[in-house]
Chains A and B, each alone.
Chain A
Amino acid sequence: MSVLFPDGASAGDVVVFWILAAMVAFFAVFTITRKNPVTAVMSLVATFFGLAAMYATLSAHFLAVLQVLVYAGAITVLFIFVVMILNREEVTPLSFRPLRVLGVLAGVYLFVKFVDVVAVGMPTVVPATPSDTFGTVAAVGDLLFRDFLYPFEAISILLLVAIVGGVVISRSHQKEVAANLAADYRKQVHELASHDYPGAAEEPAPEGHH
């Protein structure tokens, strides 16, 4: 036994875990270090796929599928769209302000301590293999629609609000600005006209109609 190869784990499990862990960590670092946003999004997709495979090894089949559909599918497409809209070259990719670097160092320290603590407190044996229905759509859905019905409805309302909010926030205001300008212009013309010709009609009669 060793740290890399824990007791009781089958060789296949260990190899798959380390490959996926290396892939996830590598592409996560790749995501936050790339200058080009498109490359960053693509490494984010790779991270999500690695995590989906890892969920499958944790017998969370439903969530593995959901991870691919929602994260690697929907959210990534959203990111790609915005990258294409913005399309900006980045001038300063990283900013090493002292306080922020201190924050990162504090995080690393916390990570090291976490590894120490968790190595003492957590059981290092492989958990018993769960039943065949563990993590399937039927099992998770049963729990979701019985015990977690209200949270489920709450999250659906949250999604609705997010959709409406997204549309309202990102809406273009150019039409409104143009309409306001045109209204101001008409008002000015009207004031000038009523000043020059006090008794004249408000609107000129359309020609060709008698």
Chain B
Amino acid sequence: MSTLVTRGAGRPGTPWRKRLTPYTFVLPTLVGLGLFLIYPLLSAVYFSFTNIRLETLTDPPSFVGWNNWRFLLEDIRLGKAIENTVWLVLVMVPARMLGALLTALFLNQVKRGRGVYRTIFYLPALAPPVAATIAFVLLLKPGTGPVNTLLAKLGMSSPPLWFNDPDWAKPSLVFLALWGIGDLMIIFIAALLDVPAELHEAAALDGANAWQRFRYVTLPGISPVLQFAAITGVIATLQYFTQAAVAASVASGSVTAGGGITNVFGYPNDSTFTYPLRLYTVGFGTGALGYASVLSLVLFAVSLSATLLLLRRFRTFL
């Protein structure tokens, strides 16, 4: 490299320098990608064939062949983790998008106090996930929480147990996610404002009703933003960790339990035990980083596939 620079420096405008210039512009990005994406990815592939352990990262790991990959098919807790994660992707992502879109549409119709409403709906998105989850679990806490107290006063004899009921725990997480739709809502509001008003006027002149204008003008107009929201939503939900871990700990009544990790994850009855939680318990609870590497590679492959699918086929959903 130094030789090239020395030679080029003496003769500006030579083909060497011209050819090299664009590469120098992208070099920082290439270095970053190589160091923080390609190298770790290849490392994970390598580690997935070894017995590398958390406690002895400085020691060279031994090769164990396909052992870690074989356990992927034998791990009895993985099935439930996958089931829960798929459920959340299929329910939480559309629910958040729909909730954010409806809120954005509503706020675009508001004439007075629009800024105040936007702020109110956006504020929950600023709450730290851990604090928000703790607050939500306490709000929905059966027996002492204000929500069930109110429901009981309204005459409901057996209000849901929310985070303490295996059937309600995941829907409760969806409610929590819906509460925090402010981030998506802001993007949707911006996208809706970008849809040309003349298109709506032309459609109206052609006799299109409100639903038809939404279906054939608004939705296509904001489809790139919807696609973005779907992709980022799916990826984030595949990695759903913090809220599930905190909700389970708080709802189980052992939020500060000793051992530190893992034994209350999934409460109640593994209903909130997600794929990333399995990855974490294996990697940090058991210290089996080889198998954790397998799980992370599978997660990466699934995230990539979902992204490619949504990039290519998103329009078919509209």
Chain A partners chain B: no
